[in-house]
Amino acid sequence: MEEFQAFINGFGMIFELKYFLLMFGGVTFGLILGALPGLTGSMGIALMLPFTYNMPALPSLVFLLSIYSGGLFGGAITAILINTPGSPANVATVLDGYPMNLRGQTEEALGVALYSSVAGGLIGCMFLVMVTEPLANLSLQFGPSEMFMVAIFGLSVVGSLSSNILKSVFAGLVGILLGTIGMSPSGATRGTLGTYYLLDGIPLIPALIGFLAIPELFNLSARGFVVETADSRIDIKRIVRSLWMLITRPVQVFLCSAIGVIVGVMPAAGATIASLLSYNQTKQLSKKYAEFGTGIPEGIIASETSSSASEGGALATMLVLGIPGSASTAMLLGALMIQGWIPGPRLFIDNKEIIYASISSLFLQQFVMLVMGTLLCLFSARLIRLPTKYLLPCIVLFTVLGTFSYRNAVFDVGLMLAFGIVGWFLKRNEFPIMPLVLGIILGPIADRELLRIGQAYDSMLDIFHRPITLGLFILSVLSILMPLALSVLRARKKENPG
C-alpha cells in the first residue's frame, strides 16, 4: 500500500493556508465559469495558466486542478436552471435536472447534483490512488477500433433518450451526419458551405447552446417566471436534505462512479460517454424506468457521479502516461511542462511525491466544492426566481458572449442562433433534440476512428479479433436491444398483471 501511504503523506504537504486559499479560489473560479452558459472550466484553466508561470509545481497543480473540479460541477447548474449543459459531460444532467427545476424543485435538483458531484469526485479520487497504473495501462489498450466502439457505445444510448425510439435513432443519425461536417482527417472538406469557420467541424458550444438553451429561452419569453410554482424564499434545508437521496442509493452512487472512472480513461470523450452510459444503465435497470426524463433524482445522480468520477480516470492517463484526454488535461499537462517537467511515462515516476500531493488536494477540493457549491446553488436558486422579463435578456447576452468567447467569432453566434431557431421548431413539433446533440458530439470521434481503422486494417471484420472491441460491440448491441426488449416485456406485464 505504498500508493496509499504516499497519498496520506500528500495531505501533510498541502495542509497549509496558501494551499487552502488556492483551492477556494480555484474552485470558486471554476464553479462560476462553469455556471455561465458558454464558458467552461477549460477556459478557466486557460485563463489562469499564465499566472502559474512563476508558481512552483505543486501550488500550480493544486490551483488548476481546483478550477477543473469546480468547472465540472458548475456546468450542472446551467443544465438544471436553463436546460444548457455547461460542458458535454453535463448533457445527461439536463434530462432530469431541468424538469425538476420546472416543477419547483430547484434546490433539490441543485443539491442532488452537488452531492453527486462531490461523491463521484471522492470515489474517483480513491480509484486514482489505488489503481492509477492499471487504469492508465488500460488506456494503452485502446486503439482506433476500441475508440470507434466507444463512440458507438455512447451513441447506442440515443434509443432511450426519448419515448419514441425510432425517432430518437433517426435524430441521432442526423446528428452524426452533422458531426462529419468539416475537414476530414484525410484533408477533404465536407459541408463547410465555403466558410473556413466550419473547417474544424461544427463547434460544440454553439451547437449545445443553440439546440438546448435557445429554444428554451424563446419559450420562457412567453412566461412570467421560469418556475411558476416556486416560493420566492430560498430554503437551504432543501439543498441539504437532498443529501439523503444519495445516502439511500449507495449502490447506484458507487456503480455510476465506477463506470465514470473506467470510461474516463478513454481519451477525448471520457466524461461525456461516462455520464450518458451511466444514465442509460441506471435507467434500464431501475424500477422507475418510465419516470426517467420526467425529473427524478436518480437521473441526476447517475450523470453527475459518473462525470465527476471520470476525472480520476482522465487524470490517471495524463499523470502516468503523459497522454492528455481532453482540453483541460492538455492544459494541465501544459502547466507541468511550464515547470520543466517532461510529459511521458517517467513523469509519474520522477515526481511521485508532488503528484500524490496533488491527488490529496483533489480529495480536499471536493469538500471545498461542498461549501462553495452550496453558496452558488443558493445564489442560483434565488436568481432563477426573478421575473423572466429581467432574467431573459441577461441570460441571452451571456449565451451570446459565451459562444463568442469560444473562438472570438461572430459566425459562431450566428450559428448558435440558427441552431436555436431549428431546435425551437423541432421542439415545438415534439421531435427529440437530445439524440441529435449526442450525434454531433460523438459523430466526429466515430468518423475519425473509422478512418484510422480503414488505414490500419484490411477488413472491417478484423477489428473483432480484439477482445475489447468485441466486448464493446456486444455491449452496444445489448444497449440498443435492451430498451426494446424491456419495453415489450413491460407492455406484456401491463396487459397480463397476473
Q: Which of 190, 288, 465, 490 binds other proteins (CB under 8 A)?
A: 190
Residue whose CB is less far from other proteins, 127 or 404: 404
CB of 383 to other proteins, least distance (A): 13
227 binds other proteins (CB under 8 A): no
| HEC-encoded secondary structure of the chain | CHHHHHHHHHHHHHCCHHHHHHHHHHHHHHHHHHHCCCCCHHHHHHHHHHHHCCCCHHHHHHHHHHHHHHHHHHHHHHHHHHCCCCCHHHHHHHHHHHHHHHCCCHHHHHHHHHHHHHHHHHHHHHHHHHCHHHHHHHHHCCCHHHHHHHHHHHHHHHHHCCCCHHHHHHHHHHHHHHHCCEECCCCCEECCCCCHHHCCCCCHHHHHHHHHHHHHHHHHCCCCECCCCCCCCCCHHHHHHCHHHHHCCHHHHHHHHHHHHHHHCCCCCHHHHHHHHHHHHHHHHCCCHHHCCCCCHHHHHHHHHHHHHHHHHHHHHHHHHCCCCCHHHHHHHHHHHHCCCCCCCHHHHHCHHHHHHHHHHHHHHHHHHHHHHHHHHHHHHHHCCCEHHHHHHHHHHHHHHHHHHHHCCHHHHHHHHHHHHHHHHHHHCCCCCHHHHHHHHHHHHHHHHHHHHHHHCCCHHHHHHCHHHHHHHHHHHHHHHHHHHHHHHHHHHHHCCC
Stated length of the chain: 498
**Please, which of residues 124-153 interact with other proteins by CB under 8 A?**
none
Measured CA to CA, the distance from residue 271 to residue 113 in angstroms comes to 15
CB-CB neighbours of 70 under 10 Å: 32
Choose between 347 and 400: whose C-beta lies nearer to other proteins.
400
Between 111 and 172, name the residue whose CB sits nearer to other proteins: 172
Grid coordinates representing 409? 467569432
The yes or no reply on residue 487 touching other proteins (CB under 8 A) is no
Within residues 191-220, the interface with other proteins by CB under 8 A covers: 191, 214, 217-219
For position 428 contacting other proteins by CB under 8 A, the verdict is yes
In the set 188, 195, 231, 287, which binds other proteins (CB under 8 A)?
A: 188
Q: Which is nearer to other proteins, 350 or 430 (CB)?
A: 430
Exposure of 198 in the CB half-sphere (CA atoms within 13 A): 18
CB count, 10 Å around CB of 358? 26
Binding residue (CB under 8 A) for other proteins from 138, 173, 370, 486? 173
From 115, 292, 424, 473, residue interacting with other proteins (rule: CB under 8 A): 424
- Measured between alpha carbons, how far is residue 149 from residues 62, 128, 453 in Å? 34, 25, 11
Regarding 174 and contact with other proteins (CB under 8 A), the answer is yes
Tell which one of 55, 177, 370, 378 touches other proteins (CB under 8 A).
177
* Nearest one of 102, 382, 80, 78 to 235, comparing CA atoms: 382
Interacting residues with other proteins between 374 and 413 (CB under 8 A): 388-390, 392-394, 396-398, 400-401, 404-405, 408, 410, 413
Choices 123-131, 188-196, 316-324, 373-381; region in contact with other proteins by CB under 8 A: 188-196
Sort 329 into a burial class: Cβ within 10 Å, 0-12 / 13-18 / 19+: buried
The site map against other proteins for 228-267 (x = CB under 8 A) is ----------------------------------------
Among 166, 229, 492, 494, binds other proteins (CB under 8 A): 166
Question: Which of 21, 47, 285, 349 forms a contact with other proteins (CB under 8 A)?
Answer: 47
Q: Which stretch binds other proteins (CB under 8 A): 135-143, 177-185, 194-202, 262-270?
A: 177-185
Q: How far is the CB of 101 from other proteins (least distance, A)?
A: 17
Closer residue to other proteins (CB): 286 or 405: 405
Among 54, 186, 229, 459, binds other proteins (CB under 8 A): 186
Q: Under rule CB under 8 A, which residues in 429-468 are in contact with other proteins?
A: 429-431, 443, 446-447, 450-451, 454-455
Number of residues that bind other proteins (CB under 8 A): 59
Residues 6+ apart with CB under 8 A from 18: 59
Nearer to other proteins, 217 or 259 (CB): 217
Residues 5-44 that bind other proteins (CB under 8 A): 43
Residue 171 or 301 with smaller CB distance to other proteins: 171
Nearer Cβ to other proteins, position 394 or 477? 394
C-beta closer to other proteins: residue 180 or 303: 180
**Min dist. Cβ of residue 135 to other proteins (A):** 29
Closest distance between other proteins and the C-beta of residue 476, in Å?
14
Shortest Cβ distance from residue 166 to other proteins (Å)?
5
Beta bridge partners of 190: 182
Q: Which of 414, 468, 486, 487 binds other proteins (CB under 8 A)?
A: 414
Q: Give me the residues that bind other proteins (CB under 8 A), please.
A: 43, 47, 166-167, 169-171, 173-174, 176-177, 180-181, 184, 186, 188, 190-191, 214, 217-219, 221-223, 388-390, 392-394, 396-398, 400-401, 404-405, 408, 410, 413-414, 417, 420-421, 424-426, 428-431, 443, 446-447, 450-451, 454-455
